[in-house]
Structure 1
Amino acid sequence: MDQDSGCQAVDDGAQPCDDSVPDGAPVDLCRNHLIKAYLFMRAELAEVEAKTALPGMRPVSECDDRKNVVYYIRFGDRIKIGTTKDLRRRLAALPHDELLAVEPGGYDIEASRHRQFQPHRISGDWFKAHADLASHAACVREQHFGMLAEAHR
């Protein structure tokens, strides 16, 4: 797209983003908005795939034996909500002070959590460590404690 233009996305407050557009981007969106669009479309496609799968066939997204998880990590006064199939490797690559919680799920659950805590978003997958989000992470930790214990092995 046009290298001289900024991101054409508009935030919830009707303010233009105007961050730079990465080289080779197919549309005039900054990296963060391209990722948001990707996550949205991935969830949409998973829903379509689930609705159109032939009886007895597993959707392509379920053919990998490793299961996706949604993780919550704290770094200072921020919390990241992300997803991965390899939690140990992902945690080794990310700066963090604490693994708060882990729940089963992939991009669809991650995108849902991002929408749920949108008012506290800082940028991308990072959110302010607001009481609502901390409380949610504590509930997830209680419900899925085994996954958290497994991640610490």
Structure 2
Amino acid sequence: MVAPDGRMCGRPIEPRAPLGLCREHLLEAHDWVTRDVGATDLLPSPCRACGSQVGVRYPSGWICAECEWRVGDVPDDELDRPRVEVVYYIRWRDQIKIGTSVNPRMRLATLPHDEVLAFERGGRALEQRRHAQFAAHRFAGTEWFAVHDALLDHVAELAAGVDDPWAEYERWVLRRIALRAG
């Protein structure tokens, strides 16, 4: 490698490097290229717009690799919140309700429940499929079901890897906002 002053670099070439450069010059070349094309890496914290954990780092800052929201920017609260239909699963005593809403906070505020178990993206059609799927355990004329293994397994599958169902719902809403803003 020829240094900027015209002298040859005396360092050993990095083994298995794609170019005949020393480690220092490989890193310098990497920094020079990523200045324009960025470097994909884990974000310092999940994207506030869509929840993705992967971003692209530029010298000027980070952007989300999924929705391209600039990390650090706060989603505009004045944007109309998009409709994100969900099927919700709540537990009250020894029963589980399967319902649907585009505004689960308001809906669940009106229902007795001990715990929000999970959310599933979808609307009435999905809710009706779930009601049919677990019909053998449904309390007649209601959307409430007796607790049973198949329903608990389904809820566990939905909740796998989700620490807080409300955070998951908010991620879906913010992702819809980010995609709409683009």
1:103 CA drift (Å): 0.8
Unpaired runs of 5+ residues, structure 2, are 1-80, 171-182
Matched-pair contact (CA < 8 Å) for 1:79–1:127: yes
Is the radius of gyration larger for structure 1 or structure 2? 2
Q: Which runs of 5+ in 1 are unaligned?
A: 1-63
Query: For residue 137 of structure 1, what is the aligned residue in structure 2?
Result: 155
Mapped contact 1:70–1:109 kept (Cα < 8 A): yes
Offset at 1:151? 6.6
**One-letter amino acid of the counterpart of residue 96, structure 1:** H
Contact 2:119 2:169 survives alignment (8 Å): no
Q: Does 1:112 align with 2:139?
A: no
**In the TM superposition, what are the counterparts of 1:25-104 in structure 2 within 5 Å?**
65-104=82-121
Q: Deviations over 1:67-120 (max 9, x none)?
A: 100000000111000000111111111000111110100000000000000001
Following superposition of structure 1 onto structure 2, how do residues 18-29 of structure 1 map, counting pairs within 5 Å? none
CA contact (8 A) 2:120 2:158 kept: yes
Report the TM-score when normalising by structure 2: 0.45
Letter in 1 for 2:93: G
Q: Which runs of 4+ in 1 moved over 3 A?
A: none
- 1:152 to 1:66, Cα distance in 2 relative to 1, 3 A: closer
Q: 1:151 to 1:140 in 2, by over 3 A?
A: closer
**TM-score, normalised via structure 1 length:** 0.53
Is 1:127 matched with 2:149?
no
CA–CA separation in structure 1 for the residues paired with 2:102 and 2:92: 21
Find the residue that maps to 1:94 and give its secondary structure: coil
Deviation at 1:149, TM superposition (A): 3.7
Distance 1:93 1:81 in 2: 14
User: What is the letter of the counterpart of residue 98 of structure 1?
Assistant: E
One-letter code of the match for 1:112? R
Q: CA deviation at 1:128?
A: 0.3
**Distance (Å, rounded) in 1 between the aligned partners of 2:169 and 2:125:** 25
Aligned partner letter, 1:126? W
Alpha-carbon distance change, 151 to 96 in structure 1, aligned in 2, over 3 angstroms:
farther
Matched-pair identity in %: 45
2:147 counterpart letter in structure 1: A
**How many aligned positions are there?**
89
Which has the larger share of helix?
1
Shift of 1:147: 7.2
8 Å CA contact retained: 1:72, 1:102: yes
